[in-house]
Every structure is written in structure tokens, then in C-alpha cells.
Amino acid sequence: MRVENLRDIAIIAHVDHGKTTLCDKLLRAAGAFRANQEVQERVLDSNDQERERGITILAKNISIDYNGVKINIIDTPGHADFGGEVERVLRMADGALLLVDAFEGPMPQTRFVLRHAIDTGLYVMIVINKIDRPGADPEKAYNDCLDLMADLGATDEQLEFAMEHVVYCSGVNGYARLDPEDGNMDMYPLLDMIVNDLPAPEVDVDGPLAMQCVTIDHSNFVGRIGIGRVYSGTIHTGDQILVVKNDGERKTATVKQLFTFDYLGRTECSEVEAGDIAAVVGVDNTDIGDVYTDPENPVELDPIEIDPPTLSIVFEASTSPLVGRDGDIVGARQLKERLFNERENNVTMRIEELPDKSGVEVSGRGILHLSVLMETMRREGYEFQVGRPRVLFKKDENGNLQEPIEQAVVECPDEYAGKVIEVFGNAGGTMTSMETGTSVTHLEFRIPTRGIMGLKNRILNVTHGEGVFYHTFLEYGPYAGEIGGRKNGAMIAMTTEKAVAYALGTLQERGALFVEPGTECYEGMLVGERNQPGDMVVNIARTKNLGNQRSSTADISVQLVPPRTFSLEEALEYIIDDELVEITPKNIRMRKRLLNATDRKKAANRAK
């Protein structure tokens, strides 16, 4: 039977197309806030980093009541590095809102999230957002969405539904329209279409209990909380349930607390019926894919496969001469405890201690996925160092080496297209598509994940900052052979002192600097990049010798170019195998693994 007073929908889109802003307006239209209540923008982006980066990192559940119907809305991440979240939470939905920017149209990660929605069998409603943006072309964006659905193998029913159900929105201004020019200024057309046209959950309310855990929350008081949709039956507080793991292991548990989603929060309740989304407390060490069912009449559900990680980074306690200056937590034991605690909360990462106990290997879906954890830890006061991201290889049935392959998309002015193709060619990429528009060229490539590292800066350089670059994991493919790394050598400090303007003035003629006068440097730290291959040890504290022939004031002041600064992701992509990134609450420094120049020469000789 269908539960007519419920709708379970997911909002899917490319990063920065306005999912979270649209959720804000739906909440306000449904009366979640008082008329005069001040609410911060993107209220669902509760995490500090989500607000600063302007992206959704964790899938969120909210619910709104509209005309007597409870609408469960799942706000999904748009970035491919958090794709593991998207794949799983779509199982809780019966329909999806595909949100597309009216100016940009479908983007690479639109394809990524839409493919999962189509494969899951969801009915997709197209929402063309930002129709008020200058240069917006809502009709073209709508037609491109239908073409993309056809390319991704949507069924005739899914295509027909999408053709008949399109809404034109401005999330920022809070209106939805059935026609871009109809003048409506509220969100009710979108809410009406969700309630009237998206399918209600089709479930067996009277059958045995069947619920699958698709998201894990964590509380310091009650441990792991399993979140998922009840597919059949009813779950009650105090029920004895059977927990079936992905590997077939079975155990019993007691439901200690039960919650449903209510606007922005959760409400404790005594029972949750089929079709609704529940949060269950009481299942020890519950995992993604766990099925909660009736012990006497167990129901089998398909296991959930979490896509394997593609990159790993080793975390180590900091060995920098400046350790302890910025952070309070610097010990190896504390670092290990923090990462093992993350393993409890974050099931999309694989976290294991190295056999020699020298560090902890953390594996994830991409640089951004891993750097979000590092940024969180440095804000908590941790100091640590990490090595270069390493791609995770695997072997196929015939024993051939396989590596992760990404789809990369670049849009740039026509005159730079040749340079972009050359950059990708040097990084092991193969062009699969090229479309030229009025003044912009759209290029698509297949490229190994190894080749993606450090590519964004090179693309921005050759396109003079006018290129737009996206990439998303595609599949595991044959090993592509050796790929050239960083071509230029580094300038390495020879002493532990503060940088001096006079020394930097002479060094900037040899390359780009990473430090400015007064920066604390230490032996083995990277202070710049040479204009040619090969590392160079430099003295960043050299001062001008003053004789009695003239006074110091007679010198012409040194004109320094501003230093090149690195974000955490850029530093991780920049370093090579014998280098580390030192991460503290206040600084991100790059250094050699062996700080002493003599030690580095000995190690190089041994390697030969």
C-alpha cells in the first residue's frame, strides 16, 4: 500500500548549484520559522567547513509538513569526493529533485549524482535554479537535462515523468514557477508538485519489520545511531530486533530510543511506521548496510556496497623543530586515538595503523575528502605531518594492475584550449570530447587520479585564471604507466632562523618564494620553488655585510614579490615522495622528510 501522507525525496545537484539554499526556502515556506525569526543562510550547512567552503559535506535529513503531508527531504553532497554519501541515502527516497543552474546547465558532478538516482529507479523532477542570474537560459538547461537522462539510460517512464515535471526557481529570492515568466513569488508551486506528483512510499505496513541503516550518526553519550528508512512493518521503542550484517553475521539488539525527523531536528517517539525515516539507538557498533528486522520473520534486503577508497595518506606525529609552538596536542598516541575515534564516526574512510607503528594510514575518496579531516583536526589543536597522497591500486581477475581513472572537464576561452590539451597530455590524460561554443571550448578527458594531483594550478596558469576545472571518479582502469611529477626543484632552508628580506631579495631571482621576511623557517623546510629542475639548499637569513665606507641607510630597499601561499589541498598536491606537509593550527608548512642535507645525499646514494 502507499502511505499517502508521506513523501521521501532527495535533492541532488552539482556542487554550488543551490541545494542547501533551496532547502532554506522550503523550510520557510512550510512554516518552520516564525515570520520575524532571523535565520542564518544555508542553515543546513551546520559544519564550520561547510559554511566556509560553501559546499555540503554530510548528507542531512530534514522534514517539513505541507497540507497534511510529511515531506522527508535529504540534502546530498554535490562534490564527488563525498559520493559515498549520495549512493547510500538515495535508497531512502522514492523521488529526487534534480537541481541545475540555469546558466551553467548540467555539470560533470550532475552526471555523477543523476546516474545514481536513475540506477536506483527514482522518479526525477527537474528544478532549474538561478533563473534570475544574468545570462541564464532555463530552456536550454532543461533540454540538456533530458538529453543527459537519456544518455545515462533512464527508462521511458523516468524520461516521461521528467518531461512533464519541471519547475523554474530562484532559491535566493525564494520563488518557484511553472513558467520562467509567470511572475509567481513564492515556493508553493514546487511544494504542490512534490505532494501531488512525486510517488508516495509503497510499503507493507502490516508486514514484518524491515529497515536498513544507510547513514551513521554518533553521540558521545549513546554511541552510534543508525539512520534509515523503514521498508515494512513498524519499529517500537523496546523492540527486540535481529541485526543482519553485510557479511551475513546475525545478532539481536534492543531498541533503546527511537527518533523521527521534524523540521531541522529530531523528535523522540515510541514507534515509526513503514515509509518514514527513523534514527535508532541501541544497536552496538552498527554499520552501513545493517538490516534491522523481525527475529521470527526475518526479511532479506540487498547489501549496500560502499565504493572503495582511491587515495591514502599516512598521518604521523610531527618531527618538526618548531613542534608544539602552535598546537596543544602533538603526541603520536593522541593522534592515533583521534583517528581511531574518526573510524567509529566516519564509515566512508578506511583507517588502519601501519605494521611498524610509525603512523596511521587514512584512505578516502579524494584529496578534498581527506583534507576535510585534516582541517577539522588542526582546528581541534592537533599538530601532525602527512606524506604525499598515494593512489590505491588493485588487480583484476587476470592479475593486471588497475588504477582509479577520473573524468575531467575543462571549460576555457578558445585561445587556451591547445595549452590545456598539452597539460593533460603531459599528465597522462586522453581527450574524449571537445565542443566549441561562441567563445568557450568544452573539453573532456580520461585521466588517472595520479595525473590529477597538482593539475588545477597548471590549468589556471595556462588559461590565465579563466579556466573552469572539475573532475570526478569514473572507474578503475588499466595502469597508465609512469607519469611525470613536479618538474621544478625546491629551495630548501639550510638553517633554523627567521627569513630576512635581503636574502629573499637575491633568492626571488632564482624562482618563486613561499615565505616572507620574519617567517620562522627551519633546516629542511621548503621556502620556494626553483625555475629549473633539482633542489637547492639556500640561506634565508643572510644579511648584507656593512663596511665603514657607507651607512646602511644608503642601500636601496629590497622590493619583494608577495610569496606564493598554499591551501591544504594545494600543499598535498604539490609535494613529492620525499616531502611532507606539516599541519598546525596556525600554519601549513612543506618540508623534506629528511631535514639534513647530508642525510638526504646519503639516502639518494643508497637508492642508486
pLDDT tens for 399-458 read: 889 998 988 888 888 999 999 999 999 888 999 989 887 778 889 999 998 888 878 888
Burial 421-430 (b: 16+ CB within 10 A, else e): bebbeebbbe
Binding site annotation covers 20? yes
Residues 579 and 527 sit within 8 Å (Cβ to Cβ): no
Annotated binding-site residue? 428: no
204 Cβ neighbours under 8 A, 6+ residues apart: 1, 231, 232, 233, 274
If 0-12 CB within 10 Å is exposed, 13-18 middle and 19+ buried, where does residue 483 land?
Answer: middle
Instruction: Specify the pLDDT at position 595.
Output: 93
Beta bridge partners of 252: 242
pLDDT at 267: 85
- Name the range with the highest mean pLDDT among 21-35, 487-501, 557-571: 487-501
pLDDT confidence bin for 108, thresholds 50/70/90:
low
- The answer to whether the beta carbons of residues 141 and 101 sit under 8 Å apart is yes
Residue 261 pLDDT: 84
Q: How far is 530 from 400, CA to CA, in rounded Å? A: 38
Predicted pLDDT at 530: 93
User: For position 29, what pLDDT does the model report?
Assistant: 79
How far is 344 from 346, CA to CA, in rounded Å? 6
Q: By the 8 A CB rule, do 362 and 339 touch?
A: yes
Consult the annotation and say whether 21 binds a ligand.
Answer: yes
Per-residue pLDDT for 1 more than 50? yes
395 versus 84: which is more confidently predicted? Answer: 395
Residue 553 in this model has a pLDDT that exceeds 90 = no
Block residue for cell numbers 597538482: 454
Residues 552-563 have a mean pLDDT of 68
* Residue 552: Cβ within 10 Å count: 7
Question: Minimal CA–CA distance to 226: which of 333, 88, 322, 101?
Answer: 88
409 secondary structure, DSSP code = E
pLDDT of residue 45: 39
Q: How far is CA 85 from CA 412, 520, 593, in A?
A: 31, 41, 35
Please provide the average confidence, as pLDDT, over all residues in the chain.
Answer: 85
Neighbours of 248 (CB within 10 A): 7
**167 within 8 A of 189, measured Cβ to Cβ:** yes
How confident is the model at residue 352, as a pLDDT?
Answer: 93
Q: How far is the C-alpha of 560 from the C-alpha of 508, rounded, in Å?
A: 8
pLDDT for residue 549: 58
**Distance between CA atoms of 358 and 527, rounded to whole angstroms?**
27
**Is it the case that residue 245 has pLDDT exceeding 90?**
no
Question: Which conformational region is residue 179 in: left (phi greater than 0), alpha (psi within -120 to 50 degrees), or beta?
Answer: beta
CA dist list (Å): 41 to 68, 101, 191, 372: 27, 19, 20, 21
- Give the pLDDT band (50/70/90) at residue 547: low
Is residue 129 part of an annotated ligand binding site? yes
| Closest residue by Cα to residue 230 from 5, 8, 4 | 8
Q: Mark 374-394 as b/e (b = at least 16 C-beta within 10 Å).
A: bbbbbeeebbbbbbbbeebee
DSSP E strands in 181-281: the ranges are 210-219, 223-232, 234-236, 240-244, 250-254, 257-262, 265-268, 271-273, 277-281
Of 220-224, 246-250, 267-271, 399-403, give the lowest mean pLDDT range. Answer: 220-224
Cell digits of residue 374: 585534516
Bridge-based pairing state of the strands 250-254 and 240-244: antiparallel
**Is 483 marked as binding a ligand?**
no
Give the C-alpha separation, 145 to 159, whole Å: 10
∠ CA 573-587-496 to the nearest 5 degrees? 100
* pLDDT at residue 155, rounded to an integer: 93
14 in a labelled binding site: no
User: Is the model's pLDDT at 34 over the cut of 50?
Assistant: no
Cell of 260: 523521527
Angle between helices 188-197 and 19-29 (to 10 degrees): 90
Arithmetic mean of pLDDT, 356-382: 89
Q: Is 518 annotated as a binding residue?
A: no
Q: Is 241 annotated as a binding residue?
A: no
Q: Of 483, 435, 441, nearest to 459 (Cα)? A: 441
Q: Is the pLDDT of residue 362 over 70?
A: yes
Task: Name the residue with higher pLDDT: 37 or 441.
Answer: 441
Q: Looking at per-residue confidence, does 1 or 40 come out higher? A: 1
Least confident of 3-7, 106-110, 459-463, 480-484: 106-110
**pLDDT number for residue 320:** 93
Q: Report the C-alpha gap between 280 and 317 in whole angstroms.
A: 37
pLDDT value at position 36?
40
**pTM for the full model?**
0.76
Contact predicate 478/396, CB 8 Å: no
pLDDT in tens, 45-74: 344 544 444 444 345 678 888 888 999 988
* pLDDT tens track for 295-353: 998 988 888 776 678 899 999 999 999 998 888 889 899 999 999 888 876 777 889 99
131 is in an annotated binding site: yes
Residue 242 neighbours by CB distance under 10 Å: 19
Structure confidence by residue, pLDDT tens digits, 115-160: 888 988 999 999 999 899 888 899 999 999 999 999 889 999 999 9
Distance CA 31, CA 20 (A): 17
- Domains in the chain, ordered, with CATH? 6-197 (3.40.50.300), 210-293 (2.40.30.10), 394-478 (3.30.70.240), 490-544+557-579+588-607 (2.40.50.250)
pLDDT band at 88 (very low <50, low <70, confident <90, very high): confident
567-583 b/e (C-beta count within 10 Å ≥ 16 → b): ebbbbbbbbeeebbbbb
Confidence (pLDDT) at 16: 67
Query: Does residue 527 carry a pLDDT above 90?
Result: yes
Give the pLDDT score at 115: 83
